Structure 1
Amino acid sequence: MLPSQRKISESQATEIDLAEKSGIRLNAAFELMDNEEQITNIFWADAQMIMDYGQFGDVVTFDTTYKLNSAHRPFASFVGFNHHRETVIFGATLMYDETADSFVWLFRRFLETM
């Protein structure tokens, strides 16, 4: 970056700190800020979810709860059951829209992550 582009606001610094604590790489955090605060699709899975998928991922359900949040965005989760028949979450997503491209993106991220 040029020296003139190296200055960030306090709110941007806070966003970068939160992203770093969430495991998002620094360049990805800057990329998020450069998109004029318009996030399209978000998928997340932590280490425990990935380990649970490795043990209990034989059967996975994909459940969508459409437009019940304040932004009217589809929320979806990848869920399974452990050997005690308890619900295990393998991943979750907040999608921008319900287009085929969004679902293709989501399923690819899920497979790459797991």
Structure 2
Amino acid sequence: MLPSQRKISASQATEIDLAEKSGIRLNAAFELMGNDADNEEQITNIFGLMLTDYGQFGDVVTFDTTYKLNSAHRPFASFVGFNHHRETVIFGAALMYDETADSFIWLFRRFLEAMSSKALKTIFTD
């Protein structure tokens, strides 16, 4: 490994210790941590894409919830729009605890905060 790649954080050291105590070999523990880093990068890229898409196409948004489609029977909420090619664009999604007014208020405030406070102009919902 290059010297710059030989440094690990305290939390990574703890993960390696736990992996070793669980019988996971050192190289497998490093590979696992590398996969975690890749997954975090993919999530960051997806979120960045959502922000970019919302900035360009977020004037009109469809908001919908589906219920009891997951094993926890929690409402799944999605913020969806269309781009200039009429392709579906996902701006955000959430697995909600319930469908109370307080939950929706919290969700819409977090969505607005995540989208740099850019308010949408039109929202379609059922």
**TM class, shorter-length:** 0.5 to 0.7
Query: TM-score, normalized by length of structure 2?
Result: 0.52
Higher helix share: 2
Structure 2 Cα separation of the partners of residues 24 and 109 of structure 1: 39
Query: Residue 15 of structure 2 aligns to a residue in which SS?
Result: helix
Structure 2 Cα separation of the partners of residues 103 and 31 of structure 1: 40
Query: TM-score, normalized by length of structure 1?
Result: 0.57
Identify if the C-alpha distance between structure 1 residues 104 and 81 changes in structure 2 by more than 3 Å, giving closer, same or farther. same
> What RMSD, in angstroms, separates the aligned Cα atoms of the two structures?
11.6
Q: 1:23 maps to what in 2? A: 23
Identify if the C-alpha distance between structure 1 residues 53 and 19 changes in structure 2 by more than 3 Å, giving closer, same or farther. farther
Structure 2 Cα separation of the partners of residues 27 and 75 of structure 1: 38
Structure 2 Cα separation of the partners of residues 76 and 87 of structure 1: 16
TM-superposed deviation, 1:58: 1.0
Structure 1 Cα separation of the partners of residues 22 and 63 of structure 2: 24
Structure 1 Cα separation of the partners of residues 93 and 25 of structure 2: 19
Identify if the C-alpha distance between structure 1 residues 37 and 55 changes in structure 2 by more than 3 Å, giving closer, same or farther. closer
Query: Residue 37 of structure 1 aligns to a residue in which SS?
Result: helix
Structure 2 unpaired stretches of 5+: 114-124
Match of 2:43 among 32, 39, 64: 39
Q: 1:111 maps to what in 2? A: 112
Query: Residue 70 of structure 1 aligns to a residue in which SS?
Result: coil
Percent of residue pairs identical: 94
Structure 1 unpaired stretches of 5+: 44-48
Q: Deviations for 1:53-107, whole angstroms, at most 9, x for unmatched residues?
A: 0000010010111121000000010000000000000000000011110000000
Structure with greater Cα Rg: 2
Structure 2 Cα separation of the partners of residues 20 and 29 of structure 1: 8
Matched residue pairs, number? 109
Contact 1:66 1:75 survives alignment (8 Å): yes
Query: Residue 42 of structure 1 aligns to a residue in which SS?
Result: helix
Identify if the C-alpha distance between structure 1 residues 90 and 39 changes in structure 2 by more than 3 Å, giving closer, same or farther. closer
TM-superposed deviation, 1:24: 26
